[in-house]
Structure 1
């Protein structure tokens, strides 16, 4: 099935273009995830993302996944800490888990990219480095000029600093950050720093807000909330039952005082 799908994809092109089946999901020369934070934080972003009017199966979020952006240089890629593409199937071709995200194959660029700053990548993430002659472009250049990602968000967990940029007329302009929150009106959602416990660690975490400014719960939080409400309803029902029994007992006692058999 996979081979047939690849063959069908390649037919319209003058030369075969690699798909996600042909391109690796990780660079073997890189070490992969550097720490637990870079694992947990992207998962929280995916778990709290809800977009009004967009079905969950038409949203793809990538974490530490190779993002291939140039069909003329098919091995050139970046690996965002987290990104979301809107309007593509959650599963590749509707059935497969992605090995990588290939822009010319998917036909949809990421809408939001989040980079988690670390000492080794901070300068490139902030656009403070330049590519040498013949070298692949920097992250900033790829997100701004090639992929034209509408929103580029950066979070420094060491200083708990949140920064954001919006693409305006082809260039990134800094976004206002108020109360550690960034609003994205096109998505009717925002990103902000939430102080709380996630995966056993209490600290500021980056997570999504709905259009009313409320934190969007994770599926686990939703389940816990449903369980809590069910327990509260059960307690209320038991309390009503106790009150009814107490009222019946008082009425029966009054009837006995009047010489009336309550039975």
Structure 2
């Protein structure tokens, strides 16, 4: 009987967790767009994930390792997508920040992984399988690991230099390349979003192609800063609308005041006209009274003169013939 030469405590040693595995393989980030591109994707998808996971049970990795097998050294058994999302897992483990994602500890597969290709995408499309060549374990290609081992449902390759995007969907054990919809986007149905290429500026960089999310109706998912700018714009529009309403109300008040003053002036004019007419009436009445008085005086004088005899008239120097 052949006995194992491996000590029993080593045989029973549990698989390492994220705190016992390297969080980096020591390689450099391949281009300066990786970091802002990851931030852009994470920032804009956050409100959607909050709706999908009210309990906050989801994790986002950005150039973080996914350990899929034990190797020596350990980092050779990991792939580090530039961006990936795992639903249904806590963002921390035992209160500790995740240093990597270890499949043999959690078993939950990322729903989507994205690679930002610095070259032509050949490395990201590498389907080389895990195999031993001349006694040496050959490193498998990213595409093969994601498709055959981790089996990530959605895999995207974004070629930074050309702005081209390829999206694959895992079906029946293999990746099928998806066709873009009428908007040029690729629906990620379990996330209720679409992914596609958007041209614009972000974090001060010149206009270029970026990976962005849209909702299933084709509305661009905005970053926190973009939402804040729109909110500020809405506040300013509301302020301007309120100011316009205030000005309109003030103009209406002034118009009403002018109308009141016009009515008051019209009333004063009518009163002045009434007073003028009253004065005219009184003047005419006084004139009539004066004329009546003159008439009465003449009549009285005529009556008095009729009572005087011709002889008396002659004595007064009045020719009686003139009064005949």
Please indicate the TM-score interval, normalised by the length of the shorter structure.
0.7 to 0.9
Q: 2:199 aligns with which of 173, 195, 202?
A: 195
Q: Does 1 or 2 have the higher relative contact order (CA < 8 Å, sep 6+)?
A: 1
Cα displacement (A) at 1:169: 0.3
Partner SS for 2:20: coil
Q: 1:123 to 1:160 in 2, by over 3 A?
A: same
User: What does 1:103-252 correspond to in 2, within 5 Å?
Assistant: 103-119=103-119, 122-127=121-126, 129=128, 133=132, 134-178=137-181, 179-201=183-205, 202-252=207-257
Shift of 1:90: 2.2
Tell me the number of residue pairs that the alignment of Structure 1 and Structure 2 aligns.
Answer: 244
CA RMSD of aligned residues (A): 2.1
* Contact kept? 1:66, 1:79, Cα under 8 Å: yes
Alignment correspondent of 1:4: none
Query: Which structure shows the higher helix fraction?
Result: 2
Please identify the structure whose Cα radius of gyration is greater.
2
TM-score by structure 1 length? 0.85
Give the secondary structure class of the aligned counterpart of 1:122: coil
Deviations 1:130-165 (A, max 9, x none): 555212322112100111100110111211111111
Post-superposition shift, 1:34? 2.3
Matched, 1:39 2:38: no
Alpha-carbon distance in 1 for matches of 2:55, 2:62: 17
Q: CA deviation at 1:184?
A: 1.9
> How many angstroms does 1:243 deviate by?
0.9
Q: Hey, what does 2:13 align to over in structure 1? A: 15
Query: Unaligned 5+ residue runs, structure 2?
Result: 1-10, 266-324
* Structure 1 unmatched ranges of 5 or more: 1-12
Does the 8 Å contact 1:163/1:177 carry over to 2? no
Flag the 1:118–1:97 CA change in 2: closer, same or farther, 3 A: same
Residues 123 and 129 in structure 1, CA contact (< 8 A), matched pair in contact too = no
Aligned partners of 1:241, 1:107: CA distance in 2, in Å? 62
Give matches, 1:87-106, under 5 Å: 87-93=88-94, 95-106=95-106
Q: Distance in 1 between matches of 2:236 and 2:12?
A: 63
Cα drift, residue 185 of structure 1: 2.2
Contact 1:60 1:86 in 2 (8 A): yes
